[in-house]
Structure 1
Amino acid sequence: MNSANNAAVVVGVDGSEPALRAVRLAAIEAARRQRPLRVVHGFIWPLLHVPVSPAPDAPPGGGLRHQAEELVEAAVAEAEATVPGLSISGEIIDGEAAAVLVGESPTAALIVLGDRGLGGFSALVVGSVAVQVAAYADCPVLVARGEQRPDEPVLVAVDGSAASRQAADFAAETAVSSGVPLVAMHAYRHPGSSGPGDMQPLVYDEGKLHGEQDRMVAEWLSGLTEQHPAVRLTCRAVHGRPGAVLAEASRSAQLVVAGGQGRGEVSGLLLGSVSQSLLHHAHCPVAVVRAPR
C-alpha cells in the first residue's frame, strides 16, 4: 500500500450504476483516509482504431471522447455531492479499463471499482475487470457490492499467511478510522497436518480442535493490537468452508477484507479462492489486499 501523503484514492468509472456506487464509496474512503480522490476512465476506443471525434456533419457534443468526458464529469459531480469539499480530479486515459487501473495502482493508496460495468452480463455476479484488478494491482482494491452498513464491524479473513497479515493490518486501520470493532475470522474444515506427508486423522475431538484453532488465530494476530492500540479486536474460529463462512458473516459487516492469496493456495493462482468467492458472494463491499511482491 502506498503511504505517500499525496497518494490518491483512485476510482474507475464507465458510466454504469455500479461505477457510481463505487464513486460514492471511494469519496467516503478518500475523506476518511484524508486523501485526494482521482476519477479515472479507461478509454479503449483508440486502441481499437475507432474514430473518437464527432463526424464533420454531426451535431456539437458528439463523438466517443466527448461521451467519455461527460461520464467523468458526472462521476466527479457525484463524488462532490457525496463529500463536499473533497479534493477531486478526473482523467481519461487511453487503454483497457483493467490495464489502466492496474497502471494507476503503484502510486495509489487504494483502487475502488464497481462489481460490474457496462460490458458485464446481468447474470454475472462480478465483472472481469474487478477480478483482474484485484489480482494484479500493487495496492489494496475495494469492490463496491452489497449493502452499505457504516455502523457494522469490519471483518477480516485470517489464516496465518503473509497476505492475511497484510489484510489484517489494512482492516485494523479501516476499523479504527471508522470507529467500529474489527472481527478477525478464521474458517477451518479439518485438523492440520503436523508435517509434510502426515495424514489427517479420521477421528478427532471437535472441542479440542476448536480450542487449537482459537489459539492459532490469537497467535497470528498477537502483534496487531500493538501496531493499532485503538483497535477493538474480536477473534473467531469457525468450522466450515472459508468462502461460505465469510460470505455469510459479511451480512453483518460494513466491509470484508481478504488477502489476495492465502495459506494453501496454489502459487500459480492469480487470485486466491477465498478472495474470488467473496468477490462473487459477499453481502458488503470487499477489499482485497495482496502481500508485496
Structure 2
Amino acid sequence: MTINTGAPIVVGVDGSAAALDAVRLAAREAEYRQRSLRVVHAFIWPLTGAPLTPVPGAPVTAGLRNQAEQYVTEAVEQARKVAPDLRITGVVVDGAPTPVLVAESRGAALMVLGHRGLGGFAGLLLGSVTVQVSASAECPVLVLRGEPRADGPVVVGVDGSELSTEAIGFAFDHAARREAPLVAVHAWLYPAPVGPGDILPLVYDLDAFGAEEERTLAESIAGFAERYPQVPVRHRLVRGSPARVLVEESKAAQLVVVGARGRGALGGLLLGSVSHAILHHAHCPLVVVRHHATS
C-alpha cells in the first residue's frame, strides 16, 4: 500500500452528487501529490428537535447523525474506487461549514469543494460559504467547475501582486506534475494604484503603460520558468477585463489558478465582480490561492 505523508488534501462533502464529484477529483489530486485524503462533513446540530440518533423501533440508519456518517462513508468508498492505495480517512465535525472548513485548511495541503450541494453546502458558489472559505482558508482551495480534463493548459492570472506570485508557483507546480503547458495571463484595463495613497496621472501614455505591463508579466514568470524548465510557457497580455479573459481561457484549460486578492482590476478578488464572474462562469476547475500550501 502506498504511504502518503505530509499534510493531507481535504474535501468537504454533504451527500450531494457535486460533492462526490469533488471527492473523485480530490482523490486524483492526492494520488498525483502523494498525499493522504481527509473527507470532512460539517454537521450542524438541528434546532428543530429532530432526532440525532434513531428513536426506539426506528431503523438503525435513522437519525441525522447516522445520515451524516453515511455521507462520509459513501464518499470514502468513492475515493477508494479512484485510488485504492490512497490513505483515506473520513470524519464528521460538529459545526457550520465555513468555520469547520477554514479550521481544516490550517493543516491541509489543498481544500477541494464541489460547485453546489445540499445542506450546509447549498448554493456553494451563490452564497457566502465559498467566498468566506476561499478568502480565509490557509491553503489553496480547489473548486470543481465544469468537467475535469487531463488535457489543455494550466492558466494562471498574473498581476504582479504577492498573492499572484503564490498563484504562479502553484500553477507551475501543477503543470509540472501533469506535464502540461502553462498560459500566464495578464489582463489590464487602465493604470491602477499599486499601494495605498498612490496617485495616478490624469493623462497617461497607453503604449508606455502597456510596455510596463508586459515587463510585469515577464518578471513575474521569469524565476518560476527557470525553476521549472520542463514546463512550456505562453505569455498572454491583454487589454481587457481580467474576469472575461480568464473565463474565455478556461474553455480550453484543465485548471485556472488565481490569487485570492490582487492589485488593479484584480483587486478584491473573491470580494467583487471579478471573482463572482470566474466562479460562476469558469469552464474548468478553479484554484484560489491565499497562502502557501502546508508541507
Write out aligned runs for 1:123-138 (5 A). Answer: 126-138=126-138
Give 1:38's aligned residue: 38
Write out aligned runs for 1:247-266 (5 A). Answer: 247-264=247-264
Task: Please list every run of 5 or more consecutive structure 1 residues that lacks an aligned counterpart in the other structure.
Answer: none
**Cα distance between partner residues in 2 of 1:199 and 1:157:** 26
Which amino acid counterpart does residue 24 of structure 1 have in structure 2?
A: R
Write out aligned runs for 1:1-293 (5 A). Answer: 5-45=5-45, 51-119=51-119, 126-191=126-191, 196-201=198-203, 204=205, 209-264=209-264, 271=271, 273-291=273-291
Are the counterparts in 1 of residues 131 and 270 from structure 2 also a CA contact under 8 Å?
no
Which amino acid counterpart does residue 68 of structure 2 have in structure 1?
A: A
Q: Secondary structure at the match of 1:107?
A: coil
Superposition deviation, residue 51 in structure 1:
3.5
**Cα distance between partner residues in 1 of 2:162 and 2:48:** 40
Count of residue pairs the alignment pairs up: 286
Deviations 1:49-93 (A, max 9, x none): 753111123222211111111111111111111222211111111
Are the counterparts in 1 of residues 5 and 36 from structure 2 also a CA contact under 8 Å?
no
Cα 1:23–1:275 change in 2 (3 A) is same
Query: TM-score when scaled to structure 2?
Result: 0.87
Superposition deviation, residue 268 in structure 1:
8.0
**Cα distance between partner residues in 2 of 1:10 and 1:48:** 30
**Cα distance between partner residues in 1 of 2:155 and 2:73:** 34
**Cα distance between partner residues in 1 of 2:267 and 2:175:** 30
**Cα distance between partner residues in 2 of 1:278 and 1:113:** 15
**Cα distance between partner residues in 2 of 1:197 and 1:13:** 47
Superposition deviation, residue 209 in structure 1:
4.9
Which amino acid counterpart does residue 6 of structure 2 have in structure 1?
A: N
Superposition deviation, residue 37 in structure 1:
0.6
**Cα distance between partner residues in 2 of 1:8 and 1:53:** 30
**Cα distance between partner residues in 1 of 2:127 and 2:139:** 19
Deviations 1:79-124 (A, max 9, x none): 11122221111111111112111111111000001111214677x8
**Cα distance between partner residues in 2 of 1:9 and 1:240:** 35
Superposition deviation, residue 236 in structure 1:
1.1
Superposition deviation, residue 128 in structure 1:
3.1
**Cα distance between partner residues in 2 of 1:163 and 1:103:** 21
Superposition deviation, residue 267 in structure 1:
8.4
**Cα distance between partner residues in 1 of 2:57 and 2:69:** 20
**Cα distance between partner residues in 2 of 1:142 and 1:40:** 15
Cα 1:121–1:35 change in 2 (3 A) is closer
Cα 1:205–1:167 change in 2 (3 A) is closer
Are the counterparts in 1 of residues 187 and 241 from structure 2 also a CA contact under 8 Å?
yes
Moved over 6 A (4+): 265-270
Are the counterparts in 2 of residues 188 and 241 from structure 1 also a CA contact under 8 Å?
yes
Stretch deviating more after TM superposition (125-134 or 56-65):
125-134
Superposition deviation, residue 266 in structure 1:
9.9
**Cα distance between partner residues in 1 of 2:232 and 2:42:** 39
Superposition deviation, residue 237 in structure 1:
0.6
Cα 1:290–1:276 change in 2 (3 A) is farther
